[in-house]
Amino acid sequence: MLYLVPFWIAFLVGILVGWAWKPKWAELLTQKLSSVVSKSLELSLPSSSSMSPMFCLKNFGSSSCLNSLNLQPEAWVIDNGEQGKTLSVSPSEYDNSSTSRSVVNEGCSSAITEEDLKHLCQLVEMRDGGPTWMHMMDRSTPNMSYQAWRRDPKTGPPQYRSRTVFENATARIVRDFFWDDEFRPKWDHMLAYSATIEECSTTGTMVVRWIRKFPFFCSDREYIIGRRIWEVDGSYYCVTKGVTCASVPRRNKPRRVDLYYSSWYIRAVESRRGNGQLTACEVLLFHHEDMGIPWEIAKLGVRQGMWGTVKKIKPGLCAYQKERESLASLSQSAYMAQVNTKISMEYLISLESNEVLSRSDVDSTSENPLAQNISRALIYGGLIVLACSLDHGALSKTFIFGMGRKLTDGK
């Protein structure tokens, strides 16, 4: 073993150095070998030369290679006979038998409920009862301004809040922009794969699967995300969070992120040019997730890469606006962004006021010292009478007084 370990290390180092500094005659030998293999494959296969595997390997990514494959579109388009819709799914290394289909399901609206809407409203108005937000960043460009805050709860990963204002953008186009999974890889280079698992044509609720690429020292991460949009007087509450899905089995790789929350509040605001026109769009984002990375390291990475990531959003939004102006057909996910639940401001206030009312009732009851003293006196008095009437030794009396102490402490 003492001789084998240095031998293999030297062997691997030699391969790496040789591959990095390979001479020209090695490249010529590789080309000749590939040509011999390709000719033998052409003779053994009934297809033409443009269909040979070596041809596609040499010209991988070229249009001629992709056209020569000429895959039947029926292999990648799933027809749901119940709803009469066809949803396309692009092939990927992350596909498997359970997630390569996008299923229209009218019963998936329970993934995101009104409780999630109330929670987002409390976050927007900073009345969720969490820790104080600490200011992190304040940056701007000619067409965008950005502010960010962070807070560290007692349990769970760090939470982030940001405010972004895009000039010359409407709330509707920004809503579709963040929802459009087909366009997202053009500006979000971490998104390697996305597929729709379920969607509800009534409420607009979707369950999607994402695979996101991380730096080389981390493996890819898998997300099963439920999302839904509520519209209130032209503003949009967009909730996305991690959900469970029995149809997508858990695998070792990519690693699944169970705790995930990323929601927006989108509305039109006045431009910073001061012309009084609502030509800008404000986005309040609330985000936290447990990626399986130590939280202190994650906070450092987020702080270092936050502004660089945010700067890519505005060019992506401009490209998306141009694509929509060219009357390009909507993607399925962008179409689902327009299927949202419309509610009034009065209804939204009633959702919050009901919860606040119930909580205030509980607080007022628990803060009444007279009621607490009377109830404790009654409990102690009853237990003393019971202990004196039962002559079963010290054990019974100790047990009764112990129960009484627990009851009074719970008040």
Q: How much is the pLDDT for 67?
A: 39
Q: Is 127 inside a domain boundary? A: yes
Burial class (CB in 10 A: 0-12, 13-18, 19+), 367: exposed
Query: Are residues 211 and 222 in contact, defined by beta-carbon separation less than 8 angstroms?
Result: yes
pLDDT at site 252: 86
Residue 43 has pLDDT above 80, yes or no: no
Range of the domain at 170: 114-348
pLDDT at 29: 52
Residue 166 in domain: yes
Is the distance from CB of 131 to CB of 151 less than 8 angstroms? yes
pLDDT at res. 46: 45
Of residues 372 and 8, the one with the higher pLDDT is 8
Domain count, the chain: 1
Peptide bond into 254 cis (omega under 30): yes
Dump the DSSP string for 322-366.
Answer: HHHHTTPPPPHHHHHHTS-EEE-HHHHHHHHHHHHHHHHHHHHHH
Question: What is the secondary structure of 298-314 as a DSSP string?
Answer: HHHHHHHHHHHHHHTHH
pLDDT at 183 over 90: yes
Q: How far apart are CA 173 and CA 334, in angstroms?
A: 10
**Sorting pLDDT into bands at 50, 70 and 90, what band is 281?**
very high
Mean pLDDT of 266-288: 90
Specify if 54 maps to a domain.
Answer: no
| pLDDT tens figures, 202-244 | 999 999 999 998 776 678 999 999 999 999 999 999 999 999 9
Is residue 377 in some structural domain? no
Structural domain includes residue 12:
no
Greater confidence, 16 or 44?
A: 16
Res. 409: pLDDT tops 70? no
Query: Which of 45-54, 69-78, 327-336, 347-356 tops mean pLDDT?
Result: 327-336
pLDDT higher for 339 or 53? 339
Mean pLDDT of 115-124: 94
> What's residue 186's pLDDT?
92
Q: Is the pTM of this model over 0.85?
A: no
Q: How many C-alpha atoms does 185 have within 13 Å on its Cβ side?
A: 10
CA distances from 381 to 217, 388, 397, 403 (A): 66, 11, 14, 13
CATH at residue 144: 3.30.530.20
Asked whether residue 188 is domain-assigned, the answer is: yes
Q: What is the DSSP pairing of strand 221-232 with strand 235-242? A: antiparallel
Could you tell me if residue 149 is inside a domain?
yes
Nearest CA to 285 out of 258, 304, 311, 267 is that of 267
- For the record, the structure tokens of 126 come out as 């900073």
Give the model confidence (pLDDT) of 342-394 as tens digits. 999 999 888 877 654 333 333 333 334 344 444 444 444 554 444 444 444 44
Determine the 3-state secondary structure of 69 from DSSP: helix
Average pLDDT score, the chain = 73
- Listed in sequence order, the residues at least 6 apart from 175 whose beta carbon sits closer than 8 Å to its beta carbon are 229, 236, 238, 266, 337
Does 283 reside within a domain? Answer: yes
Instruction: Answer whether residue 33 shows pLDDT above 60.
Output: no
Report whether pLDDT(285) > 70: yes
